[in-house]
Amino acid sequence: MSDIVLATLNARYIHASLGLRYLLANLGELRSRAVLREFTINEPPADIAERLLTEQPRIIGLGLYIWNVAQTSEVAALIKLASPHTLIVLGGPEASYEQESLPTAQWADYIIAGQGDHAFRELCQSILEGSPPAGKIIHAPPPSLETLKLPYCEYTDEDVAHRIIYVEASRGCPFRCEFCLSALDKTAKPFPLAPFLEELARLHQRGVRHFKFVDRTFNLNQLIGTRILDFFLERLDERLFLHFEVIPDHLPDALKERLARFPAGVLQLEIGVQSFNTVVQQLINRKQDNARSEQNLHWLRHHTHAHIHADLIAGLPGEDLDSFAAGFDRLVALQPHEIQLGILKRLRGAPIARHIHDYHLRFSPHPPYEIIATDRISFADMRRLVRFARYWDLIGNSGRFTTTLPLLLGGSPFDRFMRFSDWLHATSQQTHRFALERLFDYVQQGMVEALGIPPGQVNQALSEDYGRTELKSIPSWLTNARDNRHAIDATLNPHGRRQARHHT
C-alpha cells in the first residue's frame, strides 16, 4: 500500500513517462511512500481504476496529455465515484491551460498548472500533513534545473530491457512558433552538463542503447551538443540508436564533423520544417532561414548516415492547398527518408488560438483537436489532406516502395500523390488495416488507372519492392501479364533470397 500513486496512460507499452519519473525522483522524503503505475490507452478504464484503487492510496496523480485525455477522464470519474475520499491531482500539458473547458477537471481535487517537479511534492506534503491548500489550481513556475534530482534511476530493469528511454539535456525553447506550447517558454535552459553525462553513463552501463532526447532544439547549444555527441562516439556499438530533434537552419561545423562520424543505423534526426511559406512563417512567429534549412537538409542527406525525418504541418493560418503542395514538393526534392505530414492541432494554451477568428480556423472539439477547415482549405480538402498523410505513411514513409516511389511521384509529387490518394480512397473506402499484399495490388492498380503509367513500368518497379518483402505468393498483376517474365524472376529470387517454389 502506498500513500501516493503516480499514474498515466501511455500511447503504447514501449513508451515510458519521463515526466512522472521526474515527479517521483523529486518527492524527497515522500519517495518511499510513492509508486509509479503506467498503463496504455487501450486498456479498459474500469480495469485501470480498479488496479489504482487496489493500492489504497490517499493521493493519485494523473499525467494528462493530448493522446490520453479522453481515456484518463473516464478513469478519473470511476475513481472519484468509487472512492470519493481518494484525492485526484491532475498535471501535464492538457491540465496546465484552459482548465475551465477541461472535462477531466470536474473529477480533480487539485490541478497543477505548469512544471510540477517541486509543486507536486509540496502539494502532497501539505495534504499528508493535514493542511491542504484551499485553491484547486496550483500554478507552478518553472523550477531551477540545478535544483532538480535527475530521474534516470527511476527507470527499472524492465524499462531498460523493453522500453524507449527518454532523456533531456535541456528544457524550453527560445522560439515562438505559435502552434507549439514551447512558444510560452522564455528560453531554452540546459541541465548542468557533468551530472547529466554521468547519468547517461549509468544508463549505458545498465544496457540502455536506445536514447530518445526530448529536447525541442538539441542543436541550439553547440558546446553541449558536441559534448553529448562525443559521449556517444566514444561508446559506439551495433545496438546504439539515438533520436534528436533539431532545428533545420542551425548546423555549426563542429556538429557537422561529429554527425558525419556516426555509422548507418545509429542517428535519427527529426527536423521540423513545418512550412516553407515565408508569409505563414511570419504570421505564426516562426523564424526560419529557408535557404539555410535546405542547404543543411541536403548536407545531412548526402554527407551523413543519419535517418532524416522531416515534418510539415497542414492547416496553418494563411496557407492554402497550393502553398502546402509547393512546400511538400520542395521537401521531397531534398530526399529525407521520411516526411511526417502533421495536421495542425490546437493545443491548450498555444498562441495559435489568436488566429481563429481572422483565418476562420475550425478545430475538432475532441482530442487531438485537429483542424478541420480554414478560410483557405475547405473541410472536404482537409479530409483529403488527412487521407493523403495516412497513405503517405503507408507508402512514402514505410520504406517498402523505394523503387516504385520515384515512378509514382514523377515530376509533380504532391499533385500525383493526391490523385493517387483520391483514387485509393474512392476504390478501397478505407485508410487503415491494409494487408500488405493487398496494398501492393492497390498501388499497382492506382498507378495504372489513376496516373496512366504503363503497366510494364509499374510492374517492373513494384516487383523489386515486392521481392524485398516476406510475402510468398506472386501477385496477379505479374502472373496475368505475358511480358513480365523478367519481373517474375526478380520477384522469385531477388539477390537469392526467394525460391522458385514460391511461384503460384
Same domain, 316 and 191: yes
Same domain, 212 and 348: yes
Burial class (CB in 10 A: 0-12, 13-18, 19+), 60: buried
The average pLDDT across 97-120 equals 96
The answer to whether position 227 is within a domain reads: yes
Strand order in the sheet with 338-343: 165-167, 210-213, 241-246, 267-274, 307-314, 338-343
pLDDT at residue 421 in the model: 98
Same domain, 369 and 385: no
Which of 377, 404, 438 is the last residue in one of the domains? 377
Dist. CA 444–CA 446, nearest whole Å: 6
Same domain, 335 and 406: no
Same domain, 218 and 299: yes
pLDDT at residue 482 in the model: 45
pLDDT of 181-230, one tens digit each? 888 887 889 999 999 999 999 999 999 999 999 999 999 899 999 999 99
Strand partners, 165: 211
Q: Helices 379-395 and 436-449: crossing angle, nearest 10°?
A: 120
Contact 287, 174 (CB under 8 A): no
Contact 285, 178 (CB under 8 A): yes
pLDDT at residue 486 in the model: 55
**Using 50, 70 and 90 to split pLDDT, how confident is the model at 498?**
very low
Peptide bond before residue 368 is cis, with ω within 30 degrees of 0? yes
**Using 50, 70 and 90 to split pLDDT, how confident is the model at 343?**
very high
Dist. CA 300–CA 307, nearest whole Å: 9
pLDDT at residue 492 in the model: 52
pLDDT at residue 500 in the model: 33
The average pLDDT across 149-159 equals 97
- Intra-chain end-to-end CA distance of the chain, in Å: 61
Q: What are phi and psi of 29, to 5 degrees?
A: -65, -20
Q: What are phi and psi of 378, to 5 degrees?
A: -70, 165
pTM over 0.85: yes
Same domain, 397 and 410: yes
Same domain, 370 and 385: no
pLDDT at residue 113 in the model: 97
pLDDT at residue 487 in the model: 55
Q: Torsion over CA of 390, 396, 400 and 406, rounded to 10 degrees?
A: 150
SS3 267: strand
User: Is the model's pLDDT at 502 over the cut of 90?
Assistant: no
Q: Name the strand (E) or helix (H) holding 23.
A: helix 18-25
**Using 50, 70 and 90 to split pLDDT, how confident is the model at 480?**
low
In total, how many domains does the chain have?
A: 3
The average pLDDT across 467-488 equals 73
pLDDT at residue 174 in the model: 86
The average pLDDT across 423-427 equals 98
Of the candidates 114, 31, 49, 118, the residue with the CA atom closest to the CA atom of residue 88: 49
